[in-house]
C-alpha cells in the first residue's frame, strides 16, 4: 500500500499541497499552529483512510493489486478535494473522537 510520503514524493504540486494540508490537520497534542505536524499519526490515518475506503468498495472483477491502486487513488482524490476546505477535519480523527453510542 502506498504511503503518504510516497504520495508526496510522486505527486504533482497539487498533490504535494494536499499532503501537506492533510499533515497540518495532525498537530501534536498541545502544539501551536506553527509546529511541525505529527507525520507519524498523519501517515497512520492515511493508511486507515485507504483501508476504510477499501472496505466500502464492491468486490471488483479485477485483481487485488488493481483494487488497492483504485482505493489509493480514491484516498488521494479525497485529499485533493478537501485540500482548500479551511474547516475540514481528518475523517479518522473525527471517527475516533466520537463518543460511543
- The stretch 23-29 carries a mean pLDDT of 87
The residue to which cell 482548500 is assigned: 84
Look at residue 67 in the predicted model and tell me its pLDDT: 81
Higher per-residue confidence, 17 vs 33 = 17
For 71-87, how does the pLDDT look when each residue is reduced to its tens digit (9 = 90+)?
899 999 999 999 888 88
The residue to which cell 492515511 is assigned: 46
- The stretch 79-98 carries a mean pLDDT of 86
- Does the global pTM surpass 0.85? no
**One-character DSSP codes across the chain:** ---HHHHHHHS-HHHHHHHHHHHHT-PPTT--TTSPP-HHHHHHHHHHHHHHHHHHSPPPSS-HHHHHHHHHHHHHHHHHHHTT-TT---HHHHHHHSPP-
96 pLDDT higher than 60? yes
30 pLDDT higher than 90? no
For 40-64, how does the pLDDT look when each residue is reduced to its tens digit (9 = 90+)?
999 999 999 999 988 876 666 667 7
Amino acid at each position: 500500500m502506498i504511503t503518504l510520503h510516497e504520495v508526496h514524493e510522486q505527486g504533482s504540486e497539487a498533490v504535494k499541497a494536499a499532503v501537506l494540508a492533510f499533515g497540518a490537520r495532525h498537530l501534536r497534542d498541545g502544539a501551536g499552529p506553527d509546529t511541525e505536524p505529527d507525520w507519524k499519526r498523519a501517515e497512520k490515518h492515511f493508511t486507515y483512510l485507504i483501508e476504510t475506503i477499501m472496505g466500502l468498495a464492491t468486490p471488483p472483477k479485477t485483481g487485488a493489486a488493481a483494487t488497492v491502486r483504485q482505493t489509493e487513488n480514491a484516498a488521494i482524490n479525497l485529499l485533493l478535494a478537501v485540500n482548500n476546505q479551511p474547516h475540514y477535519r481528518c475523517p479518522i480523527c473525527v471517527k475516533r473522537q466520537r463518543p460511543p453510542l
